Every structure is written in C-alpha cells, then in structure tokens.
Chain A
Amino acid sequence: EAGVTQFPSHSVIEKGQTVTLRCDPISGHDNLYWYRRVMGKEIKFLLHFVKESKQDESGMPNNRFLAERTGGTYSTLKVQPAELEDSGVYFCASSPLEGYGYTFGSGTRLTVV
C-alpha cells in the first residue's frame, strides 16, 4: 500500500511569491488533514477534509492560505502571498472514515526568504 505522498519535499521561495503544496492521501482514505510545524514550535493543526468537504479549518492562520481537495482525492494547499513566518514543515495526513490513527506524509519543508 502506497503511503501519503507530498511534494515538493522542499521549496524555497521569495516573500510575496505563491507556492502550492500537494498531498496524495492513501487510496480510500476519506479523512485528509494538513498540519504545520514552524521552527521551535509544536506541530499544529491547519484543517481537515472529509472527502471533498472542509470539516474543520479552524487552524488556518489567515486568508493567505487556501486548501482544496479535488473530487475527494488529492489536496493542495496554496500560500499566496507567502510571508517569512510561513516557513516551516507542512505535513499532510490521511485516515479512513472510521479510524483513530492517521498516516502522515514526509512533509514539505517550505522556506520563505
């Protein structure tokens, strides 16, 4: 079984630019989550999809972040325009509809300079 795939693995962009992160969950997993870890801080929840619907987006920091999940399959997280404080590692995770533990991807390391 393929795991959760994220790309790119690393992205360096300039402040003000746009970056799009992609996540391919495990096939059949209806739950998809985005988390973020900024330097020196704990991993923080961003949002949760159930299939193509946003179930909870209470962790999204501001309206520069836009997440979508096309047809309940892969998801994208767009940051536009990027700011320095957006630097960190962005993790995607997925789980079955009925399940408690989810599988994380390896993350996208975003550096905004």
Chain B
Amino acid sequence: QKEVEQDPGPLSVPEGAIVSLNCTYSNSAFQYFMWYRQYSRKGPELLMYTYSSGNKEDGRFTAQVDKSSKYISLFIRDSQPSDSATYLCAMRPNNAGNMLTFGGGTRLMVKP
C-alpha cells in the first residue's frame, strides 16, 4: 500500500466550477501538508502549506487537513482554464528532515 493515495484523474470541469482534490495517507506521523501544482514539462510549484489540522485559505484556494481521517483536500473556487495542471499533494513528519512523500498527482482540466 502506498503511503499517500491520490486519484490520478483526469478530472474535467467547466470554467467557474468549484474543484475538490483529495489525498489520503496512512502514516499518522505526517504533520506538514503541501499542495503543489505542476504544468507540463515544468517542476512542481508550491501552492499551499498547512501544519497539522485545520483550514488555510489563499485567494481562490483552500486547503483542509483532517488528521483524524488522514485526509487532506484542496478546493479551487471559480476555476480557470489556467488552473489546468497536475496537482500533487506532499507531506512529511515533524522529525524527518525535509524529505517529502508525494501522492501520484491528479490531472485537472478546466474547459472554457
């Protein structure tokens, strides 16, 4: 079993829709949770960062962490065609240096 599970998609939505992206994980030691966006032929770009449980909002993006369920989410409001990319969740424990464990990524397509 993978430590971090993420539906690969593709997820296709119309422009303006609310998008929900999710990851589940098995390692209860994970404390830091991140979402990266990756465009084709580019490196991952950090979107959101959350420590422990709770919500964090940044513009059209909201990250949620539910440690009791080992489940994290990224919501994108008013989705735009420019949001079309692969979204990767990543996480790490508190005491494992900075090594990240990634999900496989969800490919999102926002259609005009």
Contacts and interface: CB of A to CB of B under 8 A. Distances in A.
A42 B46 contact: no
A42 B4 contact: yes
Contacts of B11: none
A48 B101 CA distance: 14
A106 B49 contact: no
A95 B88 CA distance: 19
B43 A102 contact: no
B105 A107 contact: no
B98 A102 contact: yes
A45 B44 CA distance: 14
Interface residues of B, number: 23
Contact of B102 (A43, A56, A95, A101): A43
Given A31-B98, A48-B97, A95-B98, A42 B43 contact: no
Contact of A106 (B43, B46, B97, B104): B43
B103 A93 contact: no
Interface string A73-97: 0000000000000000001010100
A43 B49 contact: no
Interface of B: 2, 4, 32, 34, 36, 41-46, 49, 88, 90, 97-105
Interface of A: 4, 31, 33, 35, 41-45, 48, 55-56, 58-59, 91, 93, 95, 100-107
12 contacts: A41-B104, A45-B101, A48-B97, A48-B98, A56-B99, A95-B98, A100-B32, A100-B49, A104-B44, A105-B43, A106-B41, A107-B43
